[in-house]
Structure 1
Amino acid sequence: MPDPFVLGVVPGVTPDRWVRVWRERMPDVPLAVVPVDDVTAALTGGVTMVFARLPIDGDGLHVIPLWEETPVVVAAKDHPVKLFEAVTEADLAAEELYPGWDEAVLDIVAAGHGIARMPQSVFRATGRRDVVARPITDAAPTRIGLVWSRDAGGPLVDEFIGVVRGRTANSSRGAPPEPPAAAPERPPRPSRPRPERSAKKRPRRR
């Protein structure tokens, strides 16, 4: 059996649909999904490609930007943000912000000591019911991209890029486009003799 294609994912990313397509198209190449915190370290430690949050610091990497994530504020269930469908940066200016989005931070927030910010997908992945989340309408979104090393190219990498981009199994990534069909040439029109114009003298003015 060949070595597995190792796909890394940062917190909040669920690659199930692409994994399913891969396993249908490439049943002989196992695909392993592993959680990733340090993208650069993962790519030098056996991970082939990573769904990562951009931007990524590091030279020698290929990056394909994919989708944006909505930022949310997370607070205790009895926090005033619960009364709103969404908030703005100005609404949160006086709040105590705890950086990060690990379980320890969420425990502090759930106890009523400040707020946290994170991508909406990360919050949903936590499954926490002791806190609430609301979108921040004027905050810059985060973006997920597909990242891999420039030294890790090959047919399997190309195949996974095709899976993510929605190419069909029968499409050929490297095939040159077919030249357009040449338009049929029209036969030259037969020239018609032009009638001779009789020279007429204009009457002189008197």
Structure 2
Amino acid sequence: MLGVDFDLRQLRYFVAVAEELHFGRAAARLHIAQPALSRRIRALEDELKTPLFVRDRRTTVLTAAGEQLLADARDLLAAAEAVHRRVTAAAGAKPVLTVGFMPGIVVTPAVRELARHRPDVGVRLLRTSWHDQVAVLHDGRVDVGIVRLPVERRGLTVRPLFTEPRVVMVPATHRLAGEESVSITELAGEHLLQDPDAVPEWRDIAVELRAPGRPEVPRIHSVEEKLELVAAGAGISVIPRSTAMFYTRPDVIGIPVPDIAPNHVALAWLTARRSPLVDAFLDAAASLVPGSITTS
């Protein structure tokens, strides 16, 4: 499907837009101007002779061709990155550890701790999402991930780090927006913009799950997109407190829900690919967490 002169940078641009579903956010993530990004995507669509996105003034969604390219593009980029890392390692270049992390988690202290003990190691960071935090481990894009549980543990070793409370995100105009905290029962009549299994306490009492024809939950690729939907009044979402604090905006309010179970944060890596570099990062991350941490 791709021409021999296909540019991997162009592919990375496409993936950024596909994951953000917003040209402005994707441009900011890539550190390029939005018009330049739009030209790159149009050039890619011209080369492939098919539209990859359907866009209007308010929304951007993937076409069927775009969905297929996104699935393939991640594998292509991961393979290219793996080749680069193997070649540089063979050339005796400075070893590099790639760390994946979920939104709201601050990785800098662990990176600084690693640098203090292993100044010979370079670190790259990759922000992940609920949809790919495990995939990036399996396809080699990252060596170790700071993940939010639950995850599919097949082939992985998972080491707990810490837990944190979760909050419900509602529009600033919502009836509950002024409350210091809410009970899960007060959310029974709301529409949840995520898999109900992610909030079993809500699932057990939800009105809409007991009515015929539950409203469809759109596939959401990023926290930013989720908060856009909340702000627009499309529903509510339950997210970790640190994520809510990181993505502060005036039109969306986070309210503590004491009777929702906390989010569990953990380190994860492929059991078959554990290495001295991974061990060094595990030690650096564990030193920042109070108490003893044991491998599961």
CA distance in 1, matches of 2:267, 2:152: 14
Q: Residue 20 of structure 1: SS of its match in structure 2? A: helix
Alignment of 1:95-174 (within 5 A): 95-99=190-194, 102-166=223-287
Q: Secondary structure at the match of 2:134?
A: helix
Choose which of 119, 128, 134 in structure 2 pairs with 1:27.
119
Fraction of identical pairs, as percent = 33
Q: Look at both structures and tell me which one has the larger radius of gyration over its CA atoms.
A: 1
Two-structure CA RMSD over aligned residues (Å): 1.8
- Greater strand share, 1 or 2? 1
- The TM-score normalised by the length of structure 1 is 0.74
- 48-57 or 79-88, which deviates more: 79-88
1:78 aligns with 2:173: yes
Once the two structures are TM-superposed, the CA of residue 136 in structure 1 deviates from its matched residue by: 0.7
Separation (CA, whole Å) in 2 of partners of 1:107 and 1:166: 36
Which ranges of structure 2 fall in alignment gaps of 5 or more residues? 1-92, 195-219, 289-296
Counterpart code for 1:147: A
User: Taking structure 1 as reference, are residues 34 and 82 closer, same or farther at Cα in structure 2, changes over 3 Å only?
Assistant: same
Distance 1:140 1:149 in 2: 27
The one-letter code matched in structure 2 to 1:26 is R
Q: How many residues align?
A: 167
**Residues 83, 40 of structure 1: CA spacing in aligned structure 2 closer, same or farther, 3 A cutoff?**
closer
| Map of 2:128 onto structure 1 | 36
Instruction: Pick 1 or 2: higher relative contact order, CA cutoff 8 A, min separation 6.
Output: 1
Q: Deviations over 1:138-175 (max 9, x none)?
A: 011110100001122222222111111219xxxxxxxx
Higher helix share: 2
Q: TM-score, normalised by structure 2?
A: 0.53
SS in 2 for 1:17: helix
- Which residue does the alignment assign to 1:181? none
Q: Secondary structure at the match of 2:177?
A: helix
1:9 aligns with 2:130: no
Distance in 1 of aligned mates of 2:119 and 2:178: 49
Per-residue CA distance 1:73-106 (angstroms, 9 max, x = gap): 1111122222211111101111222225633332
Displacement after TM superposition at 1:2 (Å): 2.0
Q: Is the 8 A contact 2:95 2:120 kept in 1?
A: no
